[in-house]
Chain A
Amino acid sequence: MIVIRNAGVLRADKIERATVVIEGDTITSIGAEPISNGARVIDAQGSWLGPGLVDLHVHLRDPGQTWKEDVESGARAAATGGFTAIVAMPNTQPPVDGRSSAIAAIEKARAVETLDIVVAGTLTKGRVGKEMAGFDAMYEAGVRVFSDDGEAVPEAGLLRRIMAYLGDLPGALVAEHAEDRSIAGEGHMHEGMVSSRLGIAGLPGIAEDVIVARDIAIAADTGAPLHVQHVSTMKSVDLIRAAREAGTRVTAEVTPHHLALDETSVDGLDPNRKMYPPLRGADDRAALRSALREGVIDAVATDHAPHSPAEKAVPFEEAPRGVIGLETAAAVVATYALGDDQRTFFDRMSVAPARIAGLDRHGRDVEPGSPANLVLFDPKRRWVPGTFVSKSQNSPFAGLELTGKVLATIHEGRISFEGGLG
């Protein structure tokens, strides 16, 4: 039994200062202080208690690149960041694109007891954008989220056939990395004032916009649901808003780093600030923040992309793309976007991503009978990230003061992280 006292509890219709009792894997009571022997009692001192965070976008690098991260280290980083469920992207080596790779990944994921790891599959065989992946075999194994993350499906005709097919499979979701390779080329940072001044090849925002527009048209045409990964431009936000209003089934995510930083952050050519899509203009960032508040962007997702220190200690243009995000996501979102609004914070960090991934044991309001997947988060605690539990350290937030810290994480009634408790 775990008893959490003095928490700001996220209930269905209100936020209430209360005591929450967890027995087994379930919340059994809220309100009255129980008298119990042997209970683990946590004094929350007014911190936020809500459903455990859910990340739609994580790269675990396992199998194939386990010097960067593996399932176990990624799971520890996730619990440290307040997550109780994550979606693992399929761009492993080999990629998850058929029966055997899906079954192997799912077995490995199930062995982790501190976190629910949802295995995603690719949209195309080998993730090379040529032909459909083994959808039926993966679906039968339990895969529901499909993405070629890292690349968009290059041809509209192929994506249309994929969405028509997956549209028939209940719960299946097409998640797209929206970036037109023919426009993005070999760019390294947002095409804007900073790239212009430094003479570094740019990644124009329109490379994203044209794919979002295309994919929305295909989603409307096929009726299949579309999820736009790591939205980064103002124009994409406008396209998604218009599609929603027209009744198209489209959801979207944004990363913490795109909410917090903009192109001026790469002026010093720090490889730990290099990622795709790149940090955009200040106007894009402002549009992302307001779209997240409004709910036009449903969810925050980290795009946790570990690379070893040696891999990142190279010239900017040669550095691999991607930054880690699991351990700082909640703090960054609170600091830069939603720190004053507990309801919206949990809606975007847990409720919506759980719904998008089809996870019914996550993203639930804290009520008696709900599964005990919870996070205790102090929105006022200031801290400076330094080193990380992840095998990799490529965070753009190292050394920056953040406001808001995960105190403890509870997965299926068991404490998976408590390093933030005083």
Chain B
Amino acid sequence: MSDQHTGLISLKGMSRERLEGLLDHAQSYVGSPVTNQLVGVTLTTAFFEPSTRTRLSFASAAHRLGAHVMDLSPDLSSTTKGESFKDTILTLTAIGTDLFVIRHWLADASEMAAYWSGRPVINAGAGKREHPTQTLIDALTLRQEFGHLDGLRMAIVGDISNSRVARGHLEALPELGMELTLVGPTPFLPRYNPWGVKVSTDLDEELGDTDVVYLLRIQSERGASAGIPADGGYGRRYGMSEERLSMLKPTAVLMHPGPINRGIEIDDASADGERSLILAQVANGVPVRMAVISEALEGTG
């Protein structure tokens, strides 16, 4: 949170204390209680890229806080007539928005929206840059599972280059004491490593050592498939399978930000097995977003 008045745009540079405070706040909303603390507030979700769980869990979180929700569906609205992103934001501001939740393919969409509107903005996924609420959800889920985050080793597996989820994790999880390793074929790994984390092309070598296997989807809509052959070999080299499950530590868990591609990065036994935290992640979406929404409005009067 670069600034209370701009909502939650990035986790970059956020202190451990602040991150843990957000997680504690989110934990207090587990069970998704209905409150009236934001009655009279209008939250607008403006998703310029498709989303199911993120958009719905933001809406649900807002409702449970008593806020009114406006939802912009760009493919049904004037954006298809060429209304610019800026004009769309100005229009939604004029209609009456107290807080924006924005997903966009541009890396700085949330900053620009905050600048144009003068309203706090929660980044619900910006380009390939960050998806901060997903990172908080995953941190909360792991804290519930292990009781702590310190020293946990996470292997993020897959299309790291195109993943805003991975970038959010890289900004915040090391600050919370976790050790991250990036795993995938070279075309999926960032060419440069500003985070100074371990990078590996061999998943099997990492499995025995890791507490969390975090699987990513191949993002063909971001041109990811262009980096690897289309013969299905990716699943054999990097997919989570029964055989790979047996290579894990007894306490190790599997995570995935969704949507999952069964049979590619994960098989049924892994996705539905007892090590899978995938549904726990989804369930934590609402309490985390309740916390983020309520903090985004603090100090804005």
Chain B 164-193 interface 0/1 with A at a Cβ cutoff of 8 Å (1 = within) = 100100000000000000000000001111
Given that A314-B86, A317-B127 are known contacts, is A269 also in contact with B111, CB under 8 Å in the complex?
A: yes
B199 CB, min distance to chain A CBs, angstroms: 11
**A193 to B106 CA separation, bound complex (whole angstroms):** 19
A280 CB, min distance to chain B CBs, angstroms: 13
A234 CB, min distance to chain B CBs, angstroms: 16
Given that A192-B192, A196-B190, A200-B127 are known contacts, is A316 also in contact with B107, CB under 8 Å in the complex?
A: yes
Q: Are B191 and A191 in contact (CB under 8 A)?
A: yes
Q: Are A199 and B106 in contact (CB under 8 A)?
A: no
B102 CB, min distance to chain A CBs, angstroms: 12
- Choice from B109, B164, B195 contacting A199 with Cβ under 8 Å: B164
Given that A199-B127, A315-B85, A317-B127 are known contacts, is A269 also in contact with B194, CB under 8 Å in the complex?
A: no
A197 close to B (CB within 8 Å): yes
Q: Are A196 and B107 in contact (CB under 8 A)?
A: no
CB within 8 Å of B: which of A188-221?
A: 191-200, 202, 204
- Choice from B86, B107, B191, B192 contacting A200 with Cβ under 8 Å: B107
- Choice from B108, B167, B191 contacting A269 with Cβ under 8 Å: B108
A318 close to B (CB within 8 Å): yes
Question: Cβ of A315: which chain B residues have Cβ within 8 Å of it?
Answer: 85, 106-109, 112
**A200 to B130 CA separation, bound complex (whole angstroms):** 11
Given that A314-B86, A317-B127 are known contacts, is A196 also in contact with B193, CB under 8 Å in the complex?
A: yes
**A197 to B197 CA separation, bound complex (whole angstroms):** 12
B128 close to A (CB within 8 Å): yes
CB within 8 Å of A: which of B90-128?
A: 106-109, 111-112, 127-128
Question: Cβ of B167: which chain A residues have Cβ within 8 Å of it?
Answer: 197-199
CB within 8 Å of B: which of A164-197?
A: 191-197
**A315 to B114 CA separation, bound complex (whole angstroms):** 12
Nearest-CB residue, chain A, relative to B170: A197
B194 CB, min distance to chain A CBs, angstroms: 4
B28 CB, min distance to chain A CBs, angstroms: 32
Question: Cβ of B86: which chain A residues have Cβ within 8 Å of it?
Answer: 314
B129 close to A (CB within 8 Å): yes
Nearest-CB residue, chain B, relative to A201: B128
B229 CB, min distance to chain A CBs, angstroms: 18
Chain B 71-88 interface 0/1 with A at a Cβ cutoff of 8 Å (1 = within) = 000000000000001100
Question: Cβ of B193: which chain A residues have Cβ within 8 Å of it?
Answer: 196
Question: Cβ of A198: which chain B residues have Cβ within 8 Å of it?
Answer: 107, 129, 167
Nearest-CB residue, chain B, relative to A191: B191
**A248 to B108 CA separation, bound complex (whole angstroms):** 45
Chain B 33-76 interface 0/1 with A at a Cβ cutoff of 8 Å (1 = within) = 00000000000000000000000000000000000000000000
A296 CB, min distance to chain B CBs, angstroms: 27
Q: Are A196 and B109 in contact (CB under 8 A)?
A: no
Nearest-CB residue, chain A, relative to B12: A197
- Choice from B107, B130, B194 contacting A193 with Cβ under 8 Å: B194
Given that A196-B192, A197-B195 are known contacts, is A316 also in contact with B129, CB under 8 Å in the complex?
A: no
**A197 to B127 CA separation, bound complex (whole angstroms):** 12
**A194 to B129 CA separation, bound complex (whole angstroms):** 11
Question: Cβ of B130: which chain A residues have Cβ within 8 Å of it?
Answer: 199
Question: Cβ of B195: which chain A residues have Cβ within 8 Å of it?
Answer: 197
Nearest-CB residue, chain B, relative to A195: B192
A309 CB, min distance to chain B CBs, angstroms: 14
Given that A315-B85, A315-B108, A317-B106 are known contacts, is A196 also in contact with B194, CB under 8 Å in the complex?
A: yes
**A218 to B167 CA separation, bound complex (whole angstroms):** 43
Question: Cβ of A202: which chain B residues have Cβ within 8 Å of it?
Answer: 191
Question: Cβ of A199: which chain B residues have Cβ within 8 Å of it?
Answer: 107, 127-130, 162-164, 167
**A20 to B12 CA separation, bound complex (whole angstroms):** 58
B165 CB, min distance to chain A CBs, angstroms: 10
- Choice from B112, B163, B191 contacting A196 with Cβ under 8 Å: B191
Q: Are B107 and A269 in contact (CB under 8 A)?
A: yes
CB within 8 Å of A: which of B192-243?
A: 192-195
Chain B 6-39 interface 0/1 with A at a Cβ cutoff of 8 Å (1 = within) = 0000000000000000000000000000000000
**A89 to B81 CA separation, bound complex (whole angstroms):** 35
Question: Cβ of A196: which chain B residues have Cβ within 8 Å of it?
Answer: 190-194
**A196 to B85 CA separation, bound complex (whole angstroms):** 25
**A128 to B111 CA separation, bound complex (whole angstroms):** 36
CB within 8 Å of A: which of B141-181?
A: 162-164, 167
- Choice from A192, A204, A317 contacting B107 with Cβ under 8 Å: A317
A311 CB, min distance to chain B CBs, angstroms: 12
Question: Cβ of B106: which chain A residues have Cβ within 8 Å of it?
Answer: 315-318
Nearest-CB residue, chain B, relative to A204: B191
Question: Cβ of A204: which chain B residues have Cβ within 8 Å of it?
Answer: 191
Question: Cβ of B163: which chain A residues have Cβ within 8 Å of it?
Answer: 199
Nearest-CB residue, chain B, relative to A190: B192
B225 CB, min distance to chain A CBs, angstroms: 15
Nearest-CB residue, chain B, relative to A194: B194
Q: Are B85 and A197 in contact (CB under 8 A)?
A: no
**A373 to B190 CA separation, bound complex (whole angstroms):** 51
Q: List 17 A-B contacts (CB under 8 A).
A: A191-B191, A191-B192, A196-B190, A196-B191, A196-B193, A197-B195, A199-B127, A199-B129, A200-B127, A200-B129, A202-B191, A269-B107, A269-B108, A269-B111, A314-B86, A315-B112, A317-B127
Interface residues of B (CB under 8 A from A): 85-86, 106-109, 111-112, 127-130, 162-164, 167, 190-195
Shortest beta-carbon contacts, A-B, top 9: A199-B128, A196-B192, A193-B194, A199-B129, A315-B106, A196-B190, A197-B194, A269-B108, A193-B192
Q: A196-B192, A198-B107 are in contact. List 5 more A-B contacts (CB 8 A).
A: A196-B191, A197-B195, A202-B191, A204-B191, A316-B107
Interface residues of A (CB under 8 A from B): 191-200, 202, 204, 269, 314-318
